[in-house]
Amino acid sequence: EVQLLESGGGLVQPGGSLRLSCAASGFTFSSCPMSWVRQAPGKGLEWVSGISDSDGSTYYADSVKGRFTISRDDSKNTLYLETNSLRLEDTAIYYCAKVRNYFYFGMDVWGRGTTVTVSS
Amino acid sequence: QTVVTQEPSFSVSPGGTVTLTCGLSSGSVSISYYPSWYQQTPGQAPRTLIYSTNTRSSGVPDRFSGSILGNKAALTITGAQADDESDYYCALYMGSGISVFGGGTKLTVL
């Protein structure tokens, strides 16, 4: 069974940092592009970042560019999102998602999310 | 800035048919945007319904279908059921690994 399990969320002050992790199982992680998608309280989904499988190319939404860094460790089947200079508006549930072969096909499997709360 | 538009809300009667749409603030949606559709119930993670305009994800009933209608992507639910009451999001691929979600449509079945 394909599973994604996020962790690392929590309460952080504005300007602070958190590293989110996503442990993958049930598929060949190293062969799959991956993405992070977030959802602020009561709001819609927002694509945040993606990383390719082949060459590790990374992609970011303008709202997080320069502050967030996506990475992966294929030896540990784990996806990461380093979040820095956090703002109140970064408060959200962060979902890890497996990309269906190519980024243009979108996400096919989702984790249950980890909650990040930015507050003083 | 590219804005993906969806109806904020829609209602359908049980057994009825409803079509939700996904457009662009500027321009037309075509298959080149590889529209995908996701369903989310409160407190749950999203579930993938449709990708690449009209391909159903594994396990999705065939009463869910995707298409291009005019200048928008569309999700049609035929024979709506009570448990179809959810939020529905479309996403469009903008190139360079980047996708943009619409604001979502809250579907009520009553």
The per-residue pLDDT for range A89-109, each reduced to its tens digit, is 999 999 999 999 898 889 999
Please say whether the beta carbons of A65 and A77 come within 8 A. Answer: no
Q: Is A56 on the interface with B (CB under 8 A)?
A: no
Q: Which of B1, B34, B99 sits opposite A47 (nearest CB)?
A: B99
Q: Tens of pLDDT along A45-72?
A: 999 999 999 899 999 999 999 999 999 9
Chain A residues whose beta carbon lies within 8 Å of the beta carbon of residue B92: none
Q: Where are the beta strands (DSSP E) in chain B?
A: 4-6, 9-12, 17-24, 36-40, 47-51, 55-56, 64-69, 72-78, 87-95, 98-101, 105-109
Residue located via tokens 């319904």 = B49
Q: Tens of pLDDT along B6-35?
A: 999 999 999 999 999 999 999 999 999 999
SS3 label, residue B85: coil
